[in-house]
């Protein structure tokens, strides 16, 4: 039996344990993919804290994002993401409620239909403010109302470690029989859970795409150096497919390069990985053929993922290309795009991630976008909004414009630190370059755009332990003034609508400090509305 194609022979049997599917009960938006898709992730706690309307305003207005997805099953991780190998501690930049959050292990942030699951069911957050709200529906409904494409992601892990500790039969095992804190999809209960999970999301939610970066087998295909899996479920399934894994184990322990045992084991992993992806995608497309199944590719070829075996199941590929967040441009971006196109073909859109957090710079963001566009990418993924300063989000839109992507215009405006300053001094707040004052600060410049009607957007920080003031004057006339009274300790944006500005007029921002509130400002943006007749 050809182990590599084991999945093709078994996928059709999955429906026997799932029962008959009911008719679709929800209205489908089926928003088509934009010509160039710019995706952005959303987490449930930031929807709670910032509000979905403000998040979407910022994503679309600053970065030009036209596609959003909620991380509906999230792995355990500190947010915003920090890297112990990099200098500095990174906090939420525009979250008015908290500076950081520790995501729970593999919790569901939607409202699962529990009756559709078997022995394993989704586990909700331990926090009432997270588990009592259907965050996925909120994001989908709000995004679709704006004409945005909207999806959902099942992240790295999908069953909590503490649950598996009570059910070790679900865990993978290494060649010595030691358990590994990853579920094995060859266990029938785990397989049934995954298919039900994706079926639930596809059947009961108006999702345009489902994205996943599931961690399946270990990232090692060396049987004695971390390779999995040798659990009882794998042994049973392998034997049914013609591979006696039990007999191969002592041989591989003695000689990890023994043949045909090594190839049989590796091919079994590949066939098993292909099978679970086929089961999941077949279930998705049974519920809604128009759903885009998007693989979030971690470049883990040693884990058993064979792209060419899944050409008919994967509709698009997101590339987790995050290295630039370390502060330098990685050289493999172009080759990863080309390699994926080689295996998937030109008709499957490739959407590389572009880091906008940690040590990324505006130049790196723009360069990453240019390399992606020139390499044939059909979109990019902003990685990730929760840790992105406004300046990096602006760099996304500016980078798209500079790369010649149709439909994306550059941000019109100026960094306040580049204006003529009096009483204001350069500063940095939550990794954003800005200016601050301990008394009264003035930043002014001449308006260099055509005369017209503009919305003006000022990026400023509302700090704690003080209530300063900021005012805006155009041509000597005050157009807005606001007190920094939120005391939220993060970056905010103030919009002053429909302001007539003449070319050459003076633009002046005035900040007044109060206590430790230093009236920090970062950027002033001008959004054209209508031209003014002379």
Query: In the structure encoding, which two tokens stand for residue 206, read together?
Result: 């108006």
| Alpha-carbon gap, residue 235 to 485, rounded angstroms | 64
- Specify the pLDDT at position 87: 82
| Alpha-carbon gap, residue 47 to 490, rounded angstroms | 16
3-state secondary structure 41-62: EECHHHHHHHCHHHHHHHHHHH
- pTM for the full predicted model: 0.92
Q: Exposed/middle/buried for 326, CB within 10 Å: 0-12, 13-18, 19+? A: middle
Fold match between 30-402 and 413-531? no
User: Regarding beta strands 101-103 and 107-108, do their DSSP bridges make them parallel or antiparallel, or are they unpaired?
Assistant: unpaired
Decide: 134 and 72 in contact? Cβ < 8 Å: no
Residue 327 region, left (φ>0) first, then alpha (ψ -120 to 50), else beta? left
Radius of gyration (Cα) for the chain, nearest Å?
26
Q: Exposed/middle/buried for 273, CB within 10 Å: 0-12, 13-18, 19+? A: buried
Q: Which portions of the chain are predicted below pLDDT 70?
A: 1-24, 531-534
Contacts of 199 (CB under 8 A, 6+ apart): 18, 21, 116, 283, 284, 286, 287
- Specify the pLDDT at position 530: 76
Query: In the structure encoding, which two tokens stand for residue 373, read together?
Result: 């566009």
Domain chopping of the chain, boundaries: 30-402, 413-531
Pick from 25, 38, 44: which is nearest to 136 by CA? 44
Contacts of 437 (CB under 8 A, 6+ apart): 423, 424, 425, 511, 512, 513, 518, 519
| Alpha-carbon gap, residue 268 to 274, rounded angstroms | 10
The matching CATH number, chosen from 3.20.20.210, 2.60.120.260, 3.90.650.10, 3.40.50.2300, for 413-531 is 2.60.120.260
Contacts of 128 (CB under 8 A, 6+ apart): none
User: Regarding beta strands 420-422 and 209-212, do their DSSP bridges make them parallel or antiparallel, or are they unpaired?
Assistant: unpaired
| Alpha-carbon gap, residue 172 to 385, rounded angstroms | 34
Helix (H) or strand (E) holding 333: helix 333-344
Contacts of 401 (CB under 8 A, 6+ apart): 408, 409, 410
Domain 30-402 sits in CATH 3.20.20.80: yes
Cα torsion 252, 258, 261, 263 to 10°: value is: 120
- Specify the pLDDT at position 83: 86
| Alpha-carbon gap, residue 322 to 359, rounded angstroms | 11
Backbone phi, then psi, for 14, in 5-degree steps?
Answer: -60, -30
- Specify the pLDDT at position 105: 97
Pick from 370, 356, 449: which is nearest to 408 by CA? 370
Question: Between helices 390-402 and 362-374, what is the axis angle to 10°?
Answer: 40
- Specify the pLDDT at position 13: 39
Pick from 150, 119, 68: which is nearest to 386 by CA? 68
The residue behind tokens 């199941």 is 313
- Specify the pLDDT at position 531: 59
Longest dimension (CA), the chain: 88
Beta bridge mates, 41 = 69
Q: What letters, b where the CB count within 10 A reaches 16 and e where it falls short, cover 57-96?
A: ebbbbbbbbbbbbbbbbbbebebbbbeeeeeeebbbbbbb
Q: Mapping DSSP to helix (H, G, I), strand (E, B) and coil, where does residue 259 land?
A: coil
Query: In the structure encoding, which two tokens stand for residue 404, read together?
Result: 């010649």
| Alpha-carbon gap, residue 465 to 513, rounded angstroms | 11
């Amino acid at each position: 039996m050809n182990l590599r194609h084991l999945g093709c022979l078994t996928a059709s049997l999955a429906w026997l344990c799932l029962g008959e599917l009911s008719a679709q009960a929800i209205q489908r938006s089926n928003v088509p993919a934009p010509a160039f898709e710019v995706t952005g992730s959303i987490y449930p706690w930031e929807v709670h804290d910032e509000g979905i309307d403000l998040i979407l305003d910022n994503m679309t207005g600053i970065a030009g994002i036209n596609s959003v997805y909620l991380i509906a099953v999230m792995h355990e991780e500190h947010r915003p993401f920090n890297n112990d190998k990099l200098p500095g501690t990174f906090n939420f930049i525009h979250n008015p409620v908290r500076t950081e959050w520790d995501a729970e292990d593999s919790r569901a942030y939607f409202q699962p239909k529990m009756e559709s699951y078997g022995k394993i069911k989704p586990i909700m957050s331990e926090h009432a403010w997270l588990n009592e709200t259907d965050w996925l529906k909120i994001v989908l409904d709000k995004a679709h109302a704006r004409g945005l494409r909207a999806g959902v992601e099942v992240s790295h892990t999908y069953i909590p470690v503490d649950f598996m500790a009570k059910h070790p039969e679900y865990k993978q095992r290494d060649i010595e029989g030691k358990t590994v804190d990853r579920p094995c999809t060859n266990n029938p209960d785990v397989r049934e859970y995954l298919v039900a999970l994706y079926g639930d999301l596809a059947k009961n939610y108006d999702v345009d795409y489902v994205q996943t970066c599931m961690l399946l087998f270990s990232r090692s295909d060396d049987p004695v150096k971390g390779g999995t899996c040798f659990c009882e479920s794998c042994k049973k399934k392998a034997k049914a497919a013609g591979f006696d894994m039990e007999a191969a184990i002592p041989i591989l322990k003695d000689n990890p390069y023994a043949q045909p045992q090594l190839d049989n084991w590796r091919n079994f992993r590949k066939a098993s990985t292909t099978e679970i992806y086929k089961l999941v995608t077949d279930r998705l497309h049974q519920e809604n053929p128009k759903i885009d199944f998007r693989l979030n590719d971690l470049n883990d070829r040693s884990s058993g993922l064979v792209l060419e075996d899944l050409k008919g199941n994967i509709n698009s590929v997101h590339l987790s290309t995050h290295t630039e967040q370390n502060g330098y441009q990685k050289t493999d971006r172009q080759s990863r795009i080309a390699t994926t196109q080689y295996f998937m073909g030109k008709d499957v859109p490739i959407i590389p991630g572009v880091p906008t957090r940690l040590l990324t710079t505006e130049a790196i963001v723009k360069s990453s976008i240019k390399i992606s566009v020139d390499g044939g990418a059909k979109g990019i993924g902003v990685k990730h909004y929760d840790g992105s300063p406004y300046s990096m989000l602006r760099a996304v839109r500016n980078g798209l414009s500079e790369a010649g992507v149709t439909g994306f215009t550059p941000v019109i405006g100026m960094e306040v630190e580049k204006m003529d300053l009096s009483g204001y001094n350069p500063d940095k707040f939550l990794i954003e370059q800005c200016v601050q004052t301990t008394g009264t600060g003035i930043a002014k410049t001449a308006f260099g755009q055509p005369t017209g009607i503009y919305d003006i957007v000022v990026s400023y920080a509302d700090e704690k332990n003080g209530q300063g003031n900021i005012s805006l004057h155009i041509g000597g006339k005050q157009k807005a003034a606001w007190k920094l009274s939120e005391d939220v300790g993060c970056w905010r944006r103030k919009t002053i609508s429909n302001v007539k500005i003449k070319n050459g007029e003076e633009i002046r921002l005035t900040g007044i400090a109060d206590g430790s509130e230093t009236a920090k400002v970062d950027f002033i943006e001008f959004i054209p509305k209508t031209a003014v007749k002379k």
